[in-house]
Amino acid sequence: MTRPDRGSRRIEVLIGVLLVAVVGGAYGLKTRPAGVEAGQEALMKAGLDRLYVRNDPAAAAVEFRQVLALNPSHYGATYQLAIALDRAGQPAEARPYWEQVLPMAEAAKDDATAATTRARLGRAEPATPDALMKAGLDALYTRNDPVAAAAEFRKVLALNPAHYGATYQLATALDRAGKPAEARPLWERVVTMAESYHDQKTLDAARARLVRKP
């Protein structure tokens, strides 16, 4: 993904600042002690700098979470945290914050942010390794469909080629699907992995499988 140019970063920062200064006031900042409000502004500025200038969304998320710890209804922090989590590769964690942003944007009559939020919420969340593993295990052991299970385990390995469980389960699924030759190199990988994890039970099972041909 290309990095935004300096001009676009300045625009994003300005948008964030406006959300802090203008909309944030509509959500109770004016009723808070001056010291608390100043602390929130300082945290917001630090978060915006980390997100748009230093391109460090994980660090930015920490700052925005601190603002929300002080003021859970802070519009700007909610919006920026949602963006930071998306940019940090955590869309599932970002989604609840986008869901909070939408009614805030509607109440503030912030049509541009509301439209952006609706578009973001309309996107399907990318499948996580855990979700893919669960789907594969269900297909293999509950529905007795090793072909479908193998497809799910391959998706996990596409995301994480060193995934121990997916390697073992894919080897098992391929054997059950009548593809022992395709399963064999995976069993060989399982042996190496099981040795490194000191998983004697799996190691014994993999070695016993490799005795058979193919």
11-52 per-position pLDDT tens digit: 555 455 445 444 443 343 334 555 667 789 999 999 999 999
- For the whole model, what pTM was predicted? 0.53
How far is it, in rounded angstroms, from Cα 164 to Cα 102? 40
Q: Is 16 helix (H, G, I), strand (E, B) or coil?
A: helix
**CATH architecture of structural domain 6-121:** Alpha Horseshoe (1.25)
Q: Where in the chain is the domain with CATH 1.25.40.10?
A: 6-121, 129-209
Cα-Cα-Cα-Cα dihedral sign, residues 10, 15, 18, 19: negative
Q: Which fold has domain 129-209?
A: 1.25.40
How far is it, in rounded angstroms, from Cα 138 to Cα 153? 11
Return all residues near 186 (Cβ < 8 A) that are at least 6 apart.
167, 168, 170, 171, 174
Give the CA distances from residue 161 to residues 73, 76, 153, 156, 193, in Å, rounded to whole numbers and listed in that order: 41, 38, 10, 8, 12
Tell me the average pLDDT across 184-198: 97
What is the phi/psi pair of residue 45, to 5°?
A: -60, -40
Work out the pLDDT band at 9, boundaries 50, 70, 90.
low
